[in-house]
Structure 1
Amino acid sequence: MRQLLMATLALSLAGSAVAQSSSTVYQDSRSQAQRAAGDSQATAELFYMIEQLQREVRQLRGELEEQRNQLERLSQQSRSRYIDLDQRILGLSETLNKPAEAATPAAEAPVATPKPVSREYRQPAADERAAYQAIQTLIREDKNYDAAIGAIYDFIGKYPEGDLTVNAYYWLGEVYLVKPQLEQAKQAFTIVASRYPDHRKASDAVYKLGVTLDKLGEAEEAKRRMTTVVRDYPGTDAARLAKQFLDSH
């Protein structure tokens, strides 16, 4: 009887141990499943966030490409406008030069050019002065010559035939001379020299035209322009520089 009770107790304890072990395994399995489900959800959310970021990057790239295309179109339009204005300047300078050349007979020696009669130039308003000062800043301080060229063309188109317009043509020549784009510089200086010979910038323009011609290899024409400065604008700084040029050549 005693042996039977001990056997029953042993079986009871073994059954309890097995049940407890099974419960622990079940709980561990459940925890692992929960963790796996949580990891799966986190992974899904991460993929979703990555996909959103990729969409935003693609959108930004598209917008950037569109802006790049717009800038390229604007740049092309600006270059076309500059070329058109350069051609107009060149045509005007050639037209202005032809009457003077035709008036000199081939068999006669050239005569002195009569001193130009001073005229009244339209004085600039406040907005015109501000626009001109902005150009000076681009040239003197920023050294942004390409932007200065565009600003000068805009200025000449907006404020034609004024006192500062002549200055703008002169500085257009200076900027082209610095770049250097010598043919364009020649055109701009010729405009001032031929169309505005009575303006205060005329002596400087004729001198710089001589400098430009010399750089282009047109030595004789350069000397002729320097001689014109000395003769027609005596007492000016340009005349002094022109004489130095002639003495050294």
Structure 2
Amino acid sequence: MRKQLMATVLIPLGFGLAGVTHAQSSTPAFQNNSSEAQRKAGNNQATAELFYMIQQLQREVRDLRGQVEEQQHQIGRLQQQGRDRYVDLDQRILDLSKAVETRASEAPAAAPSDAPKDEARDYRAPGAEEQEAYNAIIDLIRNKKDYDAAITQLYEFVDAYPEGDLTVNAYYWLGEVYLAKPQLEQARQAFTIVATRYTDHRKAPDAVYKLGVTLDKLGEKDEAARRMKTVVERYPESGAAALAKKYLEPAQG
């Protein structure tokens, strides 16, 4: 009887303890599953944010690449325009020098085209902006020795300010820069324009002399001597005439 009573008490108690034990053992598993789910959800969100950031960066890179390509295209177009303009101006210089040489050869011997006029023409005085542009070019030549930039700006100057007092100077300095490089044929063209088209300008004596120097370097000795004699005869009081005399002294001696 006692044994039956104890069994009746102990069996339910055992079931109760087992239930508690089972409940305790199942609670951490539930908690672990919940934590794992939260961790995965957090990882998914971080991955999505990272993917979005990568897409944004890729889009910005594409935009920047497009801007760079557009700027490169514009730079290339501007460079080509500059080269085309340079070639056009250089051709105009060549055509002008050929024209004045043709007129000189066709002029009567008694009145050579490179002889100074009885009345000096009234050259257009430069404005402030024109003078500033000219001074900048002279600085490139004399101080910075940047001859390529100077040539480009000289062409632009004579194109922007035609038939002025400083325009003649610009043609002369174009010859000087080409002579210094040396690009003798281009120097010859520039000096010829001043020597035959602007005979009454203050730069004419120097231009005729430098044309003689250029011709001498080109191997055209007879024509060089003729130009030197022109300086002495037409501009006897000029400094260029003194230099021309020195050039002619060996031939005369």
Q: TM tier, shorter chain? A: 0.7 to 0.9
The 2-side partners of 1:26 and 1:148 are apart by 85
Q: Does 1:30 align with 2:34?
A: yes
1:65 is displaced (CA, Å) by 1.9
| Corresponding position of 2:131 | 129
The 1:47/1:92 distance shift into structure 2, 3 A limit, reads: same
**RMSD over equivalenced CA pairs, Å:** 3.4
Indicate the larger mover: 44-53 or 191-200: 44-53
Question: Number of paired residues?
Answer: 246
Q: Deviations over 1:182-231 (max 9, x none)?
A: 32222111111111122121222223223333333333333333343344
Q: Does the 8 Å CA contact 2:171/2:191 hold for their aligned counterparts?
A: yes
Q: Deviations over 1:132-181 (max 9, x none)?
A: 22333443445444443333233223322111111111122233334443
1:14 is displaced (CA, Å) by 5.4
The 1:188/1:44 distance shift into structure 2, 3 A limit, reads: same
The 2-side partners of 1:51 and 1:34 are apart by 26
1:47 is displaced (CA, Å) by 1.9
Q: Does 1:190 align with 2:192?
A: yes
Aligned to 2:71, the other structure's residue is in SS state helix
Q: Does the 8 Å CA contact 2:134/2:157 hold for their aligned counterparts?
A: yes
Question: For structure 1, which runs of at least 5 residues remain unmatched after alignment?
Answer: 106-110
Q: Which has the higher Rg, Structure 1 or Structure 2?
A: 2
Match of 1:207 among 198, 206, 209: 209
The 2-side partners of 1:83 and 1:93 are apart by 15
Q: How does 1:33-112 map to 2 (within 5 A)?
A: 33-103=37-107
1:39 is displaced (CA, Å) by 1.9
Q: Does the 8 Å CA contact 2:113/2:196 hold for their aligned counterparts?
A: no
Question: For structure 2, which runs of at least 5 residues remain unmatched after alignment?
Answer: none
Aligned to 1:217, the other structure's residue is in SS state coil
Q: Deviations over 1:32-78 (max 9, x none)?
A: 22222222222222222222222222222222222222232232233
The 1:230/1:23 distance shift into structure 2, 3 A limit, reads: farther
The 2-side partners of 1:245 and 1:10 are apart by 134
The 1:114/1:129 distance shift into structure 2, 3 A limit, reads: closer
> What amino acid is the match of 1:171?
W
1:247 is displaced (CA, Å) by 5.4
TM-score calculated relative to the size of structure 2: 0.78
The 1-side partners of 2:236 and 2:24 are apart by 119
TM-score calculated relative to the size of structure 1: 0.79
| Corresponding position of 2:153 | 151
Identity, in percent, stands at: 61
Q: Does the 8 Å CA contact 2:126/2:166 hold for their aligned counterparts?
A: yes
Indicate the larger mover: 21-30 or 6-15: 6-15
| Corresponding position of 1:218 | 220
Aligned to 1:160, the other structure's residue is in SS state coil
Aligned to 1:221, the other structure's residue is in SS state helix
| Corresponding position of 2:172 | 170
The 2-side partners of 1:73 and 1:167 are apart by 31
The 1-side partners of 2:12 and 2:83 are apart by 106
Q: Does the 8 Å CA contact 2:206/2:240 hold for their aligned counterparts?
A: yes
The 1-side partners of 2:92 and 2:58 are apart by 51
Aligned to 2:201, the other structure's residue is in SS state coil
1:13 is displaced (CA, Å) by 5.0
1:82 is displaced (CA, Å) by 2.3
The 2-side partners of 1:68 and 1:245 are apart by 52
> What amino acid is the match of 2:222?
E
